[in-house]
Amino acid sequence: MPDESHAQPALFDDDTLAEYSTSAPSAQAASHQVGSPQERHRELNELLTRAEHAYYVLDAPIMTDAEFDRNLQELIALEQAHPELITPESYTQHVGGGLSSQFEEVAHAARMYSMDDAMDLDELDAWLARTEEALHAEGHASISYTCELKIDGLGVALTYRNGRLKRGATRGNGVTGEDVTANVNTISDIPRAMANAGMERLPGGGMGSQVEVRGEVYMPKGSFVRLNEEADAAGRAPFANPRNAAAGSLRQKNPQVTAMRDLSTFIYSVADPAALGVASQSEFLDWLRASGFSVNPHARTCASAAEVHAYCADALARRGELDYDIDGVVVKVDSFAQQDALGFTARAPRWAIAFKFPPEEKRTVLREIRIQVGRTGVLTPVAEFDPVTVAGSTIARATLHNIDEIRRKDVRVGDTIVVHKAGDVIPEVVGHVEELRPEGSTEFQMPERCPSCGSAVVREEGEVAYRCVSIDCPAQAVERLIHWASRKAMDIDGIGDEIVGRAVEQGLLTDVADFYDKVDVDSLAALDTGRTYETSTADHEAGDPVALGPTIASKIMAQVDESRTRGLARVLFGLGIRHVGESVAAALAAEFGSLETLMAAPEERIVEVEGVGPKIARSICEFFSISENLAVLGRLRNSGVVLEEERTASERPQTLAGLTFVLTGALESLTRDEAGAALKELGAKVSGSVSKKTSFVVAGSAAGSKLAKAEQLGVPVLDEAALRQILETGEPPAGAGA
């Protein structure tokens, strides 16, 4: 990794950077005033306020970042030309952000400001010149800057008392944020306690101190890809980009959902730098590292405008190599004393500016919208267009997710469309170019029948997805078989997409039981791979088909035999029951122990399992009601596939037998999974829902609807201290069983 204390040489010169920088329309070019300046001023304020609410509060943006920036720059230019239009209510006079109603509001230790933008190199240079002129006038001869990557995530403020994390809050409106402490506690790179090296810099070694640091919560690109793949497979609406995925994940009511979303942070500012005994931004970043915080490794100190240019050019060139989304570079005056001298405007610091990267968007022609059928029967429309190079690679197709997305973007076959890569990773259709739409174009319609098997297609109430409901659908068969053999299911090494696809085409595989009672080494060895020999030998002629062969077939069948003993949890996940993921499958296996017991359980019993709601329970019962599915399960049993989960007998007395606990909220000393396992070890049943049959509800911090229902039904509520006493003593709570 290069030395962070020096600016790195640019990967291309300022002329090339300027070409990138000015590719986004300027404020003047974007301006399209209609009517009087007063009318346009009102329109822009309404538009920006509505877009801000959608972005920060609803996590559902109504325009791209580039569109937002263009409208904001137009508003700024309009107010510069007509100062009389500026009012305290103008969007330019307040800090962006917003508050939702689902979390408690908390006040920040100091205001969290927005950042002014430089949309091109000219605007960046103008800011640098103004800044140096102002500081020289104040008698500051030497000026340096700290340049940091502008992370495209969700702003967060972390409060530490006596060196321990006490609160996490969203940025909100800059003055007040939302208390998301329970969710912040699930993010692995946020220290629960500051490291001693950082504490030593605080007065009194940190005892009696309170420090509020700020930064960005983001979702790595790889995690974003996986999350949207899961959404597509389940027929849910996808996240628009990693920033919205991070925002939606941090603001979940259930911290367990946040914990599964693989969020990370970069911390870069503090409410009161004077309390830390540091004199500059670069020193503060060093303090953050010493304290155990995650600090972006690409921050640099630059001594001149030329070095700032070089840093921006380097960041733009390396943008696609990063595993997180950035949309520019933040340039800050390094010295805190000089920052204080420059001060703030109504909405932003004068000592910092955000140099914004233009989004790399390309135009191409949409040739076809093709339907793919997934493992769960979801029909996904996919745009196929003329190949175009975006962010360093050639793309020719992109998922359109569902019919609602197609309608929202209003794209049609034959359109000239705009494409980019969401998070610089996922090809995405942004929209169409209206003036280039061909005459006679028609709206795309989802098919009424499955393109794979011809069966009827349905759209269930409240869902965006269309589904093929046929269990005999060949497209679903391939995906189901691939899923069954996947690592987290039955882990049959050597069975890839190509082999499964060829086996289905040639009638060797139809359902998952075929792995065990139909396929053998000989039949698999004879599988036609779809390739042909290029030369003749004693064993074959040129042009003969290439079979899989006995060596590979033997290795695969050895893995098949080994997979028989993976256990019930793997089987339940591998079956691809709708809504049953890896964690739910494990919970069902642990609760019921055998497939027969689960199959005999009524829906109201299944819904009591932790993590299983009515929708999942209904899906499980529907799966077991289909005769074709039961026949497959019977064949698995007859083939020696283990359909039970191995249980380890508890050595502790079953003192909580007959009692049902429900866990809600975040616990400090252990996770809910750990608490549930400990209660079960004492013989208790742990349920995911509250009913009159519930014995006790254990409520941690940020407990929600389950606590409210317990209070409504009169179910006794225990705090974490009472839970710890139960687990330590093994004794049931007072009044249990009375």
Percent with pLDDT over 90 in the chain: 39
pLDDT, greater one: 32 or 233: 233
User: Which runs of consecutive H residues, i.e. helices, occur in 446-491?
Assistant: 474-485
pLDDT tens track for 562-610: 999 999 999 999 998 888 888 889 889 988 999 999 999 999 999 888 7
Same domain assignment for residues 491 and 462: no
Q: Which two tokens stand for residue 706?
A: 């389950």
Residue 411 domain-assigned (yes or no): yes
Reduced to 3 states (helix: H, G, I; strand: E, B; else coil), residue 264 is strand
pLDDT of 256 reads 84
Same domain assignment for residues 161 and 247: yes
Q: What is the largest CA-CA distance in the chain?
A: 92
- The alpha carbon of 643 is separated from its chain's Cα centroid by a whole number of angstroms, namely 34
Helices 305-318, 14-21: axis angle to 10 degrees equals 60
Question: Highest mean pLDDT: which of 12-26, 64-78, 395-409?
Answer: 395-409
Q: Tell me which residue of 252, 261, 256, 255 sits closest to 231, measured CA to CA.
A: 261
Residue 16 domain-assigned (yes or no): no
Residue 89 pLDDT grade (very low, low, confident, very high; cuts 50, 70, 90): low
Residue 691 domain-assigned (yes or no): yes
Q: Which two tokens stand for residue 262?
A: 């693989």
Question: Highest mean pLDDT: which of 452-456, 556-560, 662-666?
Answer: 556-560
The domain spanning residue 431 has which CATH number?
Answer: 2.40.50.140
Residue 175 domain-assigned (yes or no): yes
The domain spanning residue 194 has which CATH number?
Answer: 3.30.470.30
Question: Highest mean pLDDT: which of 9-13, 259-263, 700-704?
Answer: 259-263
Radius of gyration of the chain (CA): 30
pLDDT of 18 reads 40
pLDDT of 294 reads 96
Same domain assignment for residues 50 and 184: no
- The alpha carbon of 173 is separated from its chain's Cα centroid by a whole number of angstroms, namely 23
- DSSP assignments along 575-605, one per residue: TT-TT--HHHHHHHHHHH-BHHHHHHS-HHH
Q: List Cβ<8 Å contacts ≥24 apart for 314-318.
A: 314/8, 314/9, 314/10, 314/11, 315/147, 315/149, 316/17, 316/20, 316/357, 317/10, 317/11, 317/12, 318/11
Query: Measured between alpha carbons, how far is 39 from 439 in angstroms, rounded to an integer?
Result: 34
Q: Where a domain ends, among 324, 356, 388?
A: 356
Same domain assignment for residues 546 and 508: yes
Q: Which amino acid is at 355?
A: F
Catalytic residue among 150, 221, 356, 409: 150
pLDDT, greater one: 70 or 369: 369
The whole-number average pLDDT for the span 337-348 is 90
Give me the domain span that covers residue 552.
474-563
The domain spanning residue 596 has which CATH number?
Answer: 1.10.150.20
pLDDT of 649 reads 54
pLDDT of 689 reads 76
pLDDT of 512 reads 92
The whole-number average pLDDT for the span 158-162 is 93
Residue 401 domain-assigned (yes or no): yes
Residue 308 pLDDT grade (very low, low, confident, very high; cuts 50, 70, 90): very high
pLDDT, greater one: 531 or 284: 284
pLDDT of 8 reads 31
Q: Which residues neighbour 321 within 8 Å (Cβ) at sequence distance 6 or greater?
A: none
Residue 13 pLDDT grade (very low, low, confident, very high; cuts 50, 70, 90): very low
Q: Are strands 660-664 and 685-687 parallel, antiparallel or unpaired?
A: parallel
Residue 455 pLDDT grade (very low, low, confident, very high; cuts 50, 70, 90): confident
Count of CB atoms situated within 10 Å of the CB of 15: 8
Same domain assignment for residues 156 and 279: yes
235 sits in the region (left: phi over 0; alpha: psi -120 to 50; else beta) called left
Res. 430: pLDDT tops 60: yes
- Element (H or E) spanning 697, and its range? strand 696-699
Same domain assignment for residues 557 and 587: no
Q: Tell me which residue of 393, 381, 380, 399 sits closest to 425, measured CA to CA.
A: 393
Torsion of CA 287, 290, 291, 292, to 10 degrees: 130
pLDDT of 239 reads 79
Q: Which two tokens stand for residue 699?
A: 């409520």
Same domain assignment for residues 257 and 342: yes
Same domain assignment for residues 350 and 374: no
- DSSP assignments along 282-305, one per residue: HHHHHHHHHHT----TT-EEESSH
Residue 399 domain-assigned (yes or no): yes
pLDDT tens track for 633-691: 999 999 999 999 876 555 678 888 888 888 888 888 888 878 888 888 888 888 877 88
Res. 413: pLDDT tops 90: yes
Tally the domains of the chain. 6
pLDDT of 505 reads 87
Residue 313 domain-assigned (yes or no): yes
pLDDT tens track for 241-296: 788 888 888 988 888 888 888 999 999 999 998 888 899 999 999 999 999 999 99
pLDDT of 12 reads 35
Residue 46 pLDDT grade (very low, low, confident, very high; cuts 50, 70, 90): confident
- Separation in Å, CA 91 to CA 41, 73, 99, 244: 10, 11, 16, 22
pLDDT of 379 reads 92
Res. 360: pLDDT tops 80: no
Q: Where a domain ends, among 337, 356, 375?
A: 356
pLDDT of 657 reads 84
Residue 73 pLDDT grade (very low, low, confident, very high; cuts 50, 70, 90): confident
Same domain assignment for residues 350 and 367: no
Q: Where a domain ends, among 306, 332, 356?
A: 356
Res. 17: pLDDT tops 60: no
Same domain assignment for residues 343 and 368: no
Query: Measured between alpha carbons, how far is 738 from 389 in angstroms, rounded to an integer?
Result: 71
Same domain assignment for residues 552 and 627: no
Residue 255 domain-assigned (yes or no): yes
Same domain assignment for residues 424 and 513: no
Mean pLDDT across the chain: 84
Q: Which amino acid is at 7?
A: A
Catalytic annotation present for 150? yes
Res. 120: pLDDT tops 50: yes
pLDDT, greater one: 9 or 502: 502
pLDDT of 25 reads 34
